[in-house]
Structure 1
């Protein structure tokens, strides 16, 4: 995926270019070679969505990190996390494989009410001679219902190097072998009801019909479709190509850099993870709703009629 780089912002440079820049930094390879660190990051992405706060004062405003799968508890978890904080107009940095349709819609509407801005990435700490600097790297994934949460932002930015992928919603407990599974009339009713809710939500958030068309064209037994820069724009998923519009005054890397603590590129994991035990933790089961969680492998190019 490739979008225009932002101009006139040193933090825009940090967001778009840090991944390549840091390859030459002392300590970077050691961070990636640490199995415990890598495994911990993978497990976090498989668990229910967690919210953390990145504060970068006095260099920038700070932002909210949203990492993991959306479950029935996620909307309340967000409200609990933000209780007592004035988060109106803040930015949410997403790294998520999707999850429950109805709960993701509820969370997206909540973000929209708060006027939050959205982007895709992973937060890191750059250690400099003058102190730690917070930054965001584009090595992240926003898949399935995460894409519709991205759509809720009043300003939406997808950096070059981030991956935004879509596919159909499906019954979460049968997504792994969707063709072989059996379905009742009630199951079909649930899926069609949730498609209707998703369509209303999409238009309420300012999304285009192209987004629904692209998502609903990819069945769960096919690989997720990664949106191209042209598709990101035609679907109204991005509203700006300037990182400063979502992370104003973001942390800079203008001081000499001594090292970097960072996360590796996101792994792929099964679509039914919301029903499994991960690292000894029982992950919450989904609500009675369709699911939009990754079920394919790596994304492939769209069919001819999807090319833009």
Structure 2
């Protein structure tokens, strides 16, 4: 299809572009996505209203916490073992201050998680040096708010061995002035979707998805993340995950090298 060819062309340009031309090319990508949506039969947009990973504790068996990898064949296992139980990851996010100024943020990012996180930082902020993430994701708006607060407070982020950071969780990870992932950490991305039980019209679902995509793209760019990360997310259906390899985490600047930490901190306004 011509639309698919255009999408591949824009993808190649985004992956090869330098930071100075990124905003213009991202705009082109969003326009291309809008055109693609318009030619899809509205019946095919039913996935926006499907019961996907909303991480509702009242319905713990609705969707697996860890969707299979995106493949052309059989689903693949995650690249490393997740040591946290699925039942614990499905619960609303909790915050636990650990030795060394590490705040463990574990569980689903439910609606309102950002407000609880802000209260935690206000109460213990002077002690928190790093936020350690272990989450299957959840509400994108809350993830964005948490990421912005982390950057404002010049806090680092990390994903430990055996921990999961998937769906909207990498948005939080991106906020750290320093960002790391241990060997054996599992990080994955996929498309945004309607995580509420509200049944949206195809037009509303399309509008919300595009607006959210624009918000996330703008934020990741401000955090110094390369466009390839979000391209992989936009290409991956909500019921699958694109698992990031360690080399990709470095390539997309999702994890930072020491020399980039001061540059990231300098971008905080």
Instruction: Give the TM-score band, short-chain normalised.
Output: 0.5 to 0.7
Alpha-carbon deviations, 1:223-245, whole Å to 9, x = none?
3111012211111101038xxxx
Superposition pairs of residues 91-110 of structure 1, within 5 angstroms = 91-110=130-149
Instruction: Number of aligned residue pairs: give it.
Output: 177
By how many angstroms is 1:78 displaced? 1.1
* 1:139 pairs with one of 155, 162, 168: 162
Q: In structure 2, how many angstroms separate the alpha carbons of the residues matched to 1:117 and 1:88? A: 12
Instruction: Check 1:113–1:182 CA distance in 2 against 1; reply closer, same or farther (3 A cut).
Output: closer
Matched, 1:152 2:144: no
Of the three residues 221, 228, 244, the one matched with 1:203 is: 221
Give the structure 1 partner of residue 87 of structure 2. Answer: 43
2:237 corresponds to 1:239: no
Between the aligned partners of 2:189 and 2:110, the Cα distance in structure 1 is 18
Q: Counting helix residues as a fraction of each chain, which structure ranks higher?
A: 2
Aligned-pair CA distance for 1:82:
2.6
SS of residue in 2 equivalent to 1:99: coil
Query: Is residue 111 of structure 1 aligned with residue 150 of structure 2?
Result: yes
**In 1, distance between residues paired with 2:113 and 2:94?**
8
Q: Tell me how large the CA RMSD over aligned residues is.
A: 2.5
Q: Partners of 2:148 and 2:207 in 1: how far apart?
A: 23
- C-alpha separation between the residues in 1 aligned to 2:218 and 2:178? 20
**Contact kept? 2:118, 2:149, Cα under 8 Å:** no
| SS of match in other structure, 2:123 | coil
1:74 aligns with 2:113: yes
Q: Deviations over 1:69-123 (max 9, x none)?
A: 11221111112223333337610110001111111101100111011101112xx
Q: Deviations over 1:271-291 (max 9, x none)?
A: xxxxxxxxxxxxxxxxxxxxx
Check the 8 A contact 2:151/2:177 in 1, yes or no.
Answer: yes
TM-score by length of 1: 0.53
Residue aligning to 1:189: 207
CA displacement, residues 144-195 of structure 1 (integer Å, 9 cap, x when unaligned): 1111111110001111111111111111247xxxxxx984211111111000
Q: Is the 8 A contact 1:90 1:117 kept in 2?
A: yes
Of residues 86, 98, 101 in structure 2, which corresponds to 1:62? Answer: 101
Do the aligned partners of 1:45 and 1:96 also contact (CA within 8 Å) in 2?
A: yes
Using CA pairs under 8 Å that are at least 6 residues apart, name the structure with larger relative contact order, 1 or 2. 1
Would the aligned equivalents of 1:156 and 1:237 in 2 still touch at CA under 8 Å? yes
Runs of 4+ in 1 over 4 A off after TM superposition: none
Q: Is the 8 A contact 1:156 1:238 kept in 2?
A: yes
- 1:207 partner SS: coil
Measure, in 1, the Cα distance between the counterparts of 2:122 and 2:231: 37
| Runs of at least 5 residues in structure 1 that lack an aligned partner in the other structure | 1-37, 56-60, 122-137, 175-180, 242-308
Q: Residues 74, 230 of structure 1: CA spacing in aligned structure 2 closer, same or farther, 3 A cutoff?
A: same
- 1:88–1:114 contact (8 Å) kept in structure 2: no
If the length of structure 2 is used for normalisation, what is the TM-score?
0.61
Q: Does 1:165 align with 2:195?
A: no
